[in-house]
Amino acid sequence: MEEQTTQFEELEAQQKQNQFKLFGIYDVSDIKVEDPGMRRYINLEPKLVVKSQGRIREKFSKGKINLIEIFANLIAVPGHRGKKHKIQTKWKTGKYSQNMKIVLDCLKIIEEKTKQNPIQVLVKALENAAPRDGVTVIEYGGARYPQAVDVSPLRRVTMTLRHIVQGSYDKSFNKKTKIIQALANEIIKAYNNDTDSYAMAKKNDSEKQADSAR
């Protein structure tokens, strides 16, 4: 029995050594997602190239797409704010390689500044800046009223990533700060629960509006 147990332990050790890393750089085996609701929709499957090419088409398909791929796609198309659209810049294109290079350079800066696994820093920043409550509008008797609602876990992930990208645009558009540095600063601020973070400010506004609409 002791020999068999030793053999199993050796096999497990070999599997850990041979385990793939994300981009062949970052070890995601020890990444912890503390939020139980978001855990299902934060996919960190280790791959050398995170590119689904739109082949995952089913219900809640975003939960099966790697988080870094969603992040890179939002850099290309972050979405509008209300009815206003931002001016596109020269580095904001539809090229996968260019968008992914921005993400990888951003992760390098985070690793240098925090001395931690940048994937873990990104996940913790998402958990801190994800709004729990939001506001919708209901119509009753011909009048429209705001109504507080719970934000779904999948929307919390995608909305927070979008806020991080949009906040970085504000701090890099027509300024000396480059988008890579702005993204890294925004993620680190959200990781530290800094109120100067755009994503944290949007979370606080959303929850305050929900409290007043109850």
DSSP-derived secondary structure letter, 49: S
What is the pLDDT, as a whole number, of residue 15? Answer: 45
What is the pLDDT, as a whole number, of residue 14? Answer: 46
Give the tens place of pLDDT for each residue, 23-47: 888 888 888 899 988 988 898 888 8
How many angstroms separate the CA atoms of 54 and 164, rounded? 23
What is the pLDDT, as a whole number, of residue 91? Answer: 53
Considering the entire predicted model, what is its pTM? 0.82
What is the pLDDT, as a whole number, of residue 87? Answer: 54
Total count of domains within the chain:
1
Q: Which residues are CB-contacts of 158 (< 8 A; sequence separation ≥ 6)?
A: 62, 70, 74
What is the pLDDT, as a whole number, of residue 16? Answer: 52
**Which CATH number does the domain housing residue 59 bear?**
1.10.455.10
Mutual angle of helices 67-76 and 153-172, in 10-degree steps: 40
What is the pLDDT, as a whole number, of residue 85? Answer: 61
Range of the domain at 49: 2-212
pLDDT < 50 regions, the chain: 1-5, 8, 11, 14-15, 18
